[in-house]
A and B are shown apart, each in its own frame.
Chain A
Amino acid sequence: MQRYLLRRLLQGVLTLFVISLIVFLLARLSGDPLHIMLPEEATAEDYATAAKHWGLDRPLPAQYLAFLGNALRGDFGQSIRLRQPTLELVLERLPATLQLAGASIAVSLLIAFPIGVLSAVRRGSSLDYAGKAVALLGQSMPSFWLGIVLIWVFAVMLGWLPASGRGGTQHYILPAIALGWYQVAAIMRLVRSSMLDVMDSEYVKLARIKGVAERWVVWKHCLRNAAIPPLTYIGFVVAVLLTGSVVVETVFSWPGIGLLAIDAVRYRDFPLVQTIVLIYAAKFVVINLLVDVLYVYVDPRIRYQR
């Protein structure tokens, strides 16, 4: 188990190294960032001064090595647009993204798991069909469209909730639904199909023969065993959500990492883009690792196989 984790950890470090190289090169392939940083009136002398200031006058390999060395010390450089250390900016935005991610995951899980389980238990019933409709709707509606519709209905027409911004609990509701609804559909379908498999297994039949209450059979024995496929997916979803949602954060003016990322790309703030992508990658690596560990917890057989 330890050797396995160590191997995965090393793979993760290698992944981060490769990603850092790719993102570094891509940021420079898209053109000279000085054209964005400097005003149109800037002279050749201004270009030279700025290039020196930002270290852009050095050869690319030297720039990359400097970037890597500094990154290992936690210094990812300064944002061109906001004139602040990039890591500081990402960390500043992290709470907003975490809070929205938490709220949207809560929305997804609280809706998807019960509907998924009930759809499986009452297969073919009207509840099952309603569940399928929810899934279809969720996966068909783009989140930006859903976000705008939610704003118009609940903020403009009904006046129940704020249209945008980050503040009290009421500010979380609409963006959390817009962000979480898509996941509801996917998680619900996974829970349903996984539950159907498990409910047909021998140990479930044995539990019923032994007279275990049906509620107990479904919610404890079946759901725990049926949780692995959704768990894998949820791990992926959590990783995605923790990187911030570009679309939902933009629609709701939610000051998270997604909005920071889209602004960084829009204004060619390449030190910030590099930092965000590396942090995205690190999150995926860590969450994949955590999901592997969770597998072992949920299904003890995996421990012995590895």
Chain B
Amino acid sequence: MGMRAIGLGLGVLVLTASAPGPAGAQQLVVAGAPPIHEVTMPHLGAQSSKLLTRPVYEHLVQVDPVTWDYSRPMLAERWQVSPDAKTWTFSLRRGVPFHAGMGDFTAEDVKFSLELLAGKDSLASTTAYWRKTLDRVEVVDPHTVRLHLKASTPDLLFELSNGRETQMLSRKYVTTVGVQKASEKPVGTGPYELVEWRRSEFMRFRALDKHWRVVPQFKELVYKFVPEDSTRVAALRTGDADIIELPRSLKKEVQAAGFEARRSLWPGVVVFGLLGGQYMNDRPTYNAKVPWLDKRVREAMNLAVNRQAIVEHLFLGEAQVNTVPIIPSWVKEFGNPAWKPYPYDPARAKRLLAEAGYPNGFTAEWRAYLLSGVPELVSASEALQIDLAKIGVKLELKLVEYAAGVRPDARARKLAGIGILHRTGIPPLPGSQMAIFFSKGGILGGVELPEIEDLFSRLEKSADPAERAKMVRAIGDVLYSGYHTLPLVDLYPLFGINQKKVGEWKTTGYYGFTHLEYAQKR
């Protein structure tokens, strides 16, 4: 009796509920790891949270997944910029309706969205930028909006693009239902509208029948959040998912099962060694004894690394050797054909070390950390340890947590004598990202060079794209010829695809799935 009662009681607990089953022909199911911040309101989220609302929200401008042109019109049809790049006037697209009958998109929505992002309650990753940049938003008329900025901002279009967190919200909707409700059921102008969301489980979107930009071929889009790699592969194989985020280690398995492993069009992560301590000598933390303040040591360390072996054996070919970290060399305006990967030449490296006064090498601390989506990061540090040991440079590897073990010291310019391995997303616009690491005022500076400080300050002021690209290349020249970093690899996000169902789909791979509304049926 007792056992029966327990069994019955426990059985009652096993309730049934509906969840997305195997994907139908009209349904596109994608499975990936959940974003760090599972939040839909742009002013409360981060880069990674944008994944959740890409189908729902739109921006003023968009990034082309193929050319990586970040100045293609979206909700703004055209714009004018003042010569000092401090005043931008946008003409907005007319007759673009918000979902849920919230009226048409207007200049008031732009003002509301940007002011929310820069407002006192904002916690977004770009809040700092907007508070620093935005002076005021002027509604000229319902279809014209003017942004008055505090400083010259030639990068503004990228910040307003769908590569960033400037999603356009409906002022009417958010002020009517409140931020909490608007967060639970985001309403935008995108080609999909959200119909169901179970936090950390799945999001289900329905395609609109009419849309100004694209009517998706798949009538329903489902995001499934599956943190475990092998479970995602199983979902692809069982038909529970059509596109999955695929770890490099499982690529062959997916291909062997008859599915396609597709690279994103562009790399999404850059991995490089930051030779910390190359500070201005007026810094209190400047230490003249750091060995790699000598160019010959830096060159030696770079020549000792067998990058091709790292690409082939650690990253299984799904990476490319980089030459100047963060500069997207595949964007023709920024790349310099003279930047070839540093050769692997341990013999010359040893000679250079001896010339620099280190015939027996030296010992240095090296910090490595685990990074979600890049499990090879620690192994890459170990590979460097082995390569550098061959020329006498002994790395004392310390496994740390990035936020606690790297970032605070980098901010405080205490990386003297320490080599670290770093990464970041690769935006199409490298200037501001490079400044973070390679300028005196950069938040995470590990390298400060008088010869490029001026270039960075000119870069901030110039609105001329050609001139800006030239300055980026000039900064790259200094970093490259001076061996100031340990460039390693650019990594491509990889996706497993059921190619019998999904045809053409181009994605930048920039923070997860992009451009799903353009995915074609096979």
Contact = CB atoms under 8 A, between A and B. Distances in A.
B238 A155 contact: yes
Contacts of B2: 224
A40 B128 contact: no
A167 B222 CA distance: 15
Given A39-B46, A83-B39, A255-B199, A102 B128 contact: no
Given A42-B443, A46-B127, A148-B230, A102 B403 contact: no
Interface residues of B, number: 62
Most chain A CB within a 10 A radius of its CB, from B125, B132, B226, B231: B231
Interface string B388-431: 00000000000001011101100000000000000010000000
B240 A162 contact: yes
Interface in A109-132: 109-110, 113
Contacts, number: 160
Contacts of B201: 165-166, 253, 255
A42 B34 CA distance: 23
B7 interface: yes
Interface string B217-234: 000000011111011001
B16 interface: yes
A5 interface: no
A92 interface: yes
A297 B228 CA distance: 44
B119 to A, nearest CB: 12
B455 to A, nearest CB: 20
Nearest to A105: B10
Most chain A CB within a 10 A radius of its CB, from B13, B34, B444: B13
A221 to B, nearest CB: 14
B231 A163 contact: yes
A163 B235 contact: yes
A32 interface: yes
Contact of B10 (A31, A82, A106, A167): A106
Contacts of A168: 16-19
B14 interface: yes
A151 B231 CA distance: 8
Most chain A CB within a 10 A radius of its CB, from B14, B18, B47, B238: B14
Given A148-B230, A155-B238, A162-B240, A41 B17 contact: no
Interface residues on A, range: 35 or more
A260 B225 CA distance: 13
The 5 closest A-B pairs by CB, nearest first: A31-B404, A167-B19, A102-B13, A39-B125, A35-B403
29 contacts: A35-B407, A39-B46, A40-B436, A43-B132, A81-B38, A82-B38, A95-B15, A98-B13, A99-B15, A102-B13, A102-B14, A148-B230, A151-B231, A156-B234, A156-B237, A156-B238, A164-B226, A164-B228, A166-B17, A169-B14, A171-B19, A250-B227, A250-B228, A253-B224, A253-B228, A255-B199, A255-B200, A263-B200, A263-B227
Given A42-B128, A42-B443, 12 more contacts: A31-B408, A39-B128, A41-B125, A106-B10, A148-B230, A152-B234, A165-B201, A165-B226, A251-B230, A255-B198, A263-B34, A263-B200
